[in-house]
Amino acid sequence: MGADALFAEHLAEQAGWPAVTDSDRFTAAFAELGRSNVAAREAFSCCQNCGHAEILDGYPRDGLPRGYVFYHQQDAESAIAGQGLYLAYGAPDDPAAFMGEVVDVLRRHGLEPRWNGSTGTRAFVPLTWQRRRTGRLAAHPGALPGDDVTVEAEPIGWDGPGEAGRRRGCCGRGRCSRARSRPTPPGRGR
């Protein structure tokens, strides 16, 4: 099946979805966490190691969030395949209390996360992955004219993870977005 047919199939399927999907509820829960000074990121980074290493990049040292929670691209692939989501997290003061709060927010939004209360485990969120294509994302461009699909791009300010990235826990799969320059904060969860 070609890309155009797959795209049309997805649009047809989403017409039969409920008005609010598990994916919508999840995004709303993460938005609520973001409003409470939590770095809550969806499909963030390529893997758990890189996610922990990168999640606080861009925050000034005197303006760090009170904690973070994310799922990475590999987790997203599992959720798309029907296996739910695992969440990685961290908080400098009390990671268990922080993750308990995240679980409560997810429940308020109609999800049923499972977590045993141990900072050595990730929370699991069973859900049906249904991401809507709306606005510009609902307009498939179709096939490109001609055979030339070359895209020229110039990377700015990054030479790849290299040895420094591997020392920091880079997954080494070549999908990493960048290596982190500051140490991982204390209290990070799994």
Strands 38-41, 85-90: pairing is unpaired
Q: How far, in Å, CA of 33 to CA of 50, rounded?
A: 21
Name the more confident of 162 and 116.
116
Neighbours of 82 (CB within 10 A): 10
Residues 105-114 have pLDDT tens digits of: 999 999 999 9
Percent of the chain past pLDDT 90, that is, above it, reads 59
Neighbours of 72 (CB within 10 A): 25
Name the more confident of 78 and 180.
78
Cα–Cα nearest to 165, from 45, 40, 64: 45
Q: Is the pTM of this model over 0.85?
A: no
Strands 67-70, 38-41: pairing is parallel
Q: How far, in Å, CA of 49 to CA of 106, rounded?
A: 23
Residues 32-52 have pLDDT tens digits of: 999 999 999 999 999 999 999
Q: How far, in Å, CA of 4 to CA of 2, rounded?
A: 6
SS (H, E, C) the chain: CCHHHHHHHHHHHHCCCCCCCHHHHHHHHHHHHHHCCEEEECCCCCCHHHHHHHCCCCCCHHHCCCEEEECCHHHHHHHHCCCCEEEEEECCCCHHHHHHHHHHHHHHCCCCCECCCCCCCCEEECCCCCCCCCHHHHCCCCCCCCCCCCCCCCCCCCCCCHHHHHHCCCCCCCCCCCCCCCCCCCCECC
What is the reported pLDDT for 154? 60
Residue 70 burial (C-beta neighbours within 10 Å; 0-12, 13-18, 19+): buried
